[in-house]
């Protein structure tokens, strides 16, 4: 395992814990502790946290009669709520975490700039990227691929809580769905597998950033990095 700089993409669902939606304090503290354990292994860490535990534009917007742009803005605000929460939890673990946002909100988080972000990483501060890309019509997966590219990340870890890797079909719906241990970017793009956002895969393919998809509830970040969990996408 030759990884130094990591991009963790964590679904908002990781904060839900035993609740149905929103934020469960136990789930947040557990996640923060696990991130600290990873940090203690000397990695440089950037985190993109989703907002799906609070609001997903494309899912909840239409039901509310809200157009896509505004609905996605609400989704991006949800990532700020999650990001602030995780930042505080990581700080309680004794590690300095910086919250940077692409959606300007200066009283809550510092505005994202590449130069500052790189300085933080080198100083081994954990950087949490909030506000997505700052633009509607994207997801936090795409944002994560973008930040992974900007950081020069050695790997993109997509951390879910629902499935433990990449399957030929949704294993919760299709009993004989086949799990892939390793796939190429092209296979993922050709098969249009829902677990990964295709924009994110395309960017990682161009930048040659390997993607590992794994279930946070099935084991540690380190086990995922060692290849013991989930599925890998590479060239």
Q: Which of 5, 125, 135, 218 binds ligand UDP (CB under 6 A)?
A: 135
Q: Which of 17, 50, 83, 230 binds ligand UDP (CB under 6 A)?
A: 50
171 burial (CB, 10 Å; 0-12 / 13-18 / 19+) is middle
140 lines the binding site for ligand UDP (CB under 6 A)? yes
Number of residues that this document lists for the chain: 235
Q: How far is the CB of 144 from ligand UDP (least distance, A)?
A: 9
Looking at the Cβ atoms of 58 and 122, the one nearer to ligand UDP is: 58
84 lines the binding site for ligand UDP (CB under 6 A)? no
C-alpha span between 125 and 208 (Å, rounded): 25
139 lines the binding site for ligand UDP (CB under 6 A)? yes
C-alpha span between 127 and 44 (Å, rounded): 9
- Binding segment (CB under 6 A) for ligand UDP, from list 76-84, 107-115, 148-156, 217-225: 76-84
75 lines the binding site for ligand UDP (CB under 6 A)? yes
Query: Smallest Cα–Cα separation from 213: which of 202, 199, 198, 227?
Result: 227
β-sheet bridge partners, residue 231? 213
List all residues 6 or more positions away from 196 whose beta carbon is below 8 Å from its beta carbon: 141, 158, 166, 188, 211, 213, 233
230 lines the binding site for ligand UDP (CB under 6 A)? no
- The SS3 call for residue 66 is coil
51 lines the binding site for ligand UDP (CB under 6 A)? yes
Contact 161, 215 (CB under 8 A): yes
136 lines the binding site for ligand UDP (CB under 6 A)? yes
Binding site for ligand UDP (CB under 6 A): 11-13, 50-52, 56-58, 72, 75-76, 78-79, 132-133, 135-136, 138-141, 143
């Amino acid at each position: 395992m030759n990884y130094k700089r990591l991009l963790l993409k964590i679904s908002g669902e990781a904060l839900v814990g035993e609740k149905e939606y929103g934020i469960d304090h136990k789930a947040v503290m557990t996640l923060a502790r696990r991130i600290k354990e990873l940090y203690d292994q000397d990695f440089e860490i950037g985190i993109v946290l989703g907002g799906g535990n609070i609001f997903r534009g494309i899912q909840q917007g239409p039901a509310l009669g809200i157009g896509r742009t505004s609905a996605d803005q609400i989704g991006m605000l949800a990532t700020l709520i999650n990001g602030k929460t995780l930042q505080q939890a990581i700080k309680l673990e004794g590690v300095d975490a910086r919250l940077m946002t692409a959606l300007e909100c200066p009283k809550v988080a510092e505005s994202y700039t590449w130069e500052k972000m790189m300085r933080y990483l080198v100083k081994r501060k954990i950087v949490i990227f909030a506000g997505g890309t700052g633009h509607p019509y994207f997801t936090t997966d795409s944002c994560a691929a973008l930040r992974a590219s900007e950081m020069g990340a050695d790997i993109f870890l997509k951390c879910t809580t629902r499935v433990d890797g990449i399957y030929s079909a949704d294993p919760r719906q299709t009993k004989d769905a086949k799990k892939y241990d390793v796939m190429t970017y092209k296979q993922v793009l050709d098969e249009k597998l829902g677990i990964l956002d295709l924009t994110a895969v395309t960017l990682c393919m161009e930048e040659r950033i390997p993607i590992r998809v794994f279930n946070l509830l099935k084991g540690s970040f380190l086990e995922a990095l060692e290849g013991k969990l989930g599925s890998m996408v590479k060239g």
